[in-house]
Structure 1
Amino acid sequence: MKWSDALLAGLVLGLAACGQAQETQPLLPPESMTRDPEVPPPVEVPAAVESTRQDILGFTKRGSLSGLARFAEGNEGFVSNLEGTPHREFWDLLRRTGIDPNLKLKALFDQPVGRRDVDGETWYIWPDLAAKDPGDLIPEKLSFQDRKRLRDLIGEDGVNRIRQGEAYPGMRTAIAEDGRWVYFVLGLDGEE
C-alpha cells in the first residue's frame, strides 16, 4: 500500500469515527432557544380606562390637536414632554416636523395593552412592551413575535439601549385605572 493510500484510508476512518461520535452525542441548543416563551393572556382594561381610550381616539379621528390638548389638560399631572411646553404647542411642533400625534396615538392603541403598578395605582400602558421591566425586555426573554414587534417599534438602537439597562425607549401612552390619562411621550431623547 502506498503512503498516499494509507493516508487516505486513515482520513476516511477518522471521519467515520467523528461521524459516530456526533451520532452518539448530538449537539443540542439550550432549551431556551428551542421553545417560545409563554405568551401572557391579554390584559382586560376597566371601563374607565376604555372610556378614556375612546375619548382620546375620538379626538385623533377628527385630527384635533386643540381638543386633544384640552382633554389632556383636564387630566391632573398629564405629561406630554419634559420641557414644560404646553401640550398643544408641543404637538403642533411635532406635526410640523412630520410626526403627527393623532396618528401616533391611533397606532399605539392598535398595540396590545400592558399593566403596571405605579405608586399604589394600576396604569394601563400601550404598547404592552412599555409596561415591562427593562430586564424582561431583553429580546431573548420575549416570544419571537414580541422580539419582532420590539425591533419594529424601537429599532436596533432602542434594543441596544434596553440591553444597557434602560427602560422602554419608544413612544408610549398610559391611562390610570380610574380613567385619568397619565402621559403620552414619544420616547425621543430627553422625552423619557
Structure 2
Amino acid sequence: MRLTFALLAALALAGCGTGADDAAAPEPVTVTVTETQAETETAPPEPEVDCSTAGVRRTLPEQDLPDPVAEVRDAIFAAALACDYDELERLALELGDGFTFTYGGGTSAADHWRELEEAGTDGPMRVLVTILSLPYTRNETGSYAWPTAYQESPSQADWQALVDVGLHTQDEVDTMKEQGTGYLGYRTAITADGDWQFFVAGD
C-alpha cells in the first residue's frame, strides 16, 4: 500500500511537471535579420578650375631677339602655358623695375590673373601665350612688344592677325579702328635687358 501510494505520487508529480513544462515552453519565433550597409556621405569634390590654356598645344616660334629678351619670353610662355601664376609674378618682379598688370586696384599680379581665370571671362593665360607667338614690334622706348597692333600706326595686316588667331572679333577690331583709340587689347613688352614691363589691357 505504502509502495503503491509512493508510486502514484511519483507519477502524479511527473505528470504535473510535464504539464508545467509544456505550458511554459515558448512558441517558435522566426527572426529575420536584414544586413544593411551604412552609406558614408562624402563631401562633393571641389570643382576644378580649368586653365584657359588647357588643351593648347602651341610651340613658341623663334624670333630674332636679343638673348635676354628671348630667355624671358620663353620663360613667360612656359609659365603661362602651365597657368603658373606665382612663377609669372616672380618673372614680373625679378628685376624690380615695376610691372603693370592692371589699371585698376590690386597688389598681386598672381591673384589678379588667377581671379580672371576662375571667372572664365578674359582667359589671360591663353591670350598671353597667343600674343607671344605673334610677331613683335619695337615701342617708343625701344622695348620689344607684342602684338604688332600695339604701335602708333598698325597696318591692316597687324589688325587682321588679331582676328586670325581668335583674340578679337572683326567687330571689335573695327570699333577700335573707328574710334581712333589704337589697340586696347592685351599687350606685353620686355626691355632689351630682359625686364618684363607689363601685361595689361585697356587704357
The answer to whether the 8 Å contact 2:159/2:173 transfers is no
C-alpha distance in structure 2 between counterparts of 1:169 and 1:81, whole Å: 13
Match of 1:172 in 2: 187
Amino acid at match of 1:159: D
How many residue pairs get aligned? The number is: 136
C-alpha distance in structure 1 between counterparts of 2:181 and 2:81, whole Å: 33
C-alpha distance in structure 2 between counterparts of 1:148 and 1:161, whole Å: 13
C-alpha distance in structure 1 between counterparts of 2:146 and 2:128, whole Å: 9
Structure 1 unaligned runs (5+)? 1-42
C-alpha distance in structure 2 between counterparts of 1:167 and 1:82, whole Å: 17
The answer to whether the 8 Å contact 1:109/1:127 transfers is yes
Secondary structure of 2:65's counterpart equals coil
The answer to whether the 8 Å contact 2:149/2:159 transfers is no
The answer to whether the 8 Å contact 1:150/1:159 transfers is no
Q: How does 1:52-91 map to 2 (within 5 A)?
A: 52-75=72-95, 76-85=97-106, 86-91=108-113
The answer to whether the 8 Å contact 1:151/1:159 transfers is no
Q: How does 1:33-52 map to 2 (within 5 A)?
A: 44-52=64-72
* Alignment equivalent of 2:130, drawn from 91, 107, 131: 107
State the percentage of identical aligned residues. Answer: 27
C-alpha distance in structure 1 between counterparts of 2:184 and 2:87, whole Å: 27
Amino acid at match of 2:140: D
Secondary structure of 2:144's counterpart equals strand
Kindly indicate which of the two structures has a greater share of residues assigned to helix.
1
The TM-score, its normalising length taken from structure 1, stands at 0.62
Structure 2 unaligned runs (5+)? 1-62
Root mean square deviation, CA, Å: 2.2
Amino acid at match of 1:105: L
Displacement of 1:147 after TM fit? 4.6
Amino acid at match of 1:59: A
The answer to whether the 8 Å contact 1:174/1:184 transfers is yes
Correspondence 1:93 to 2:140: no
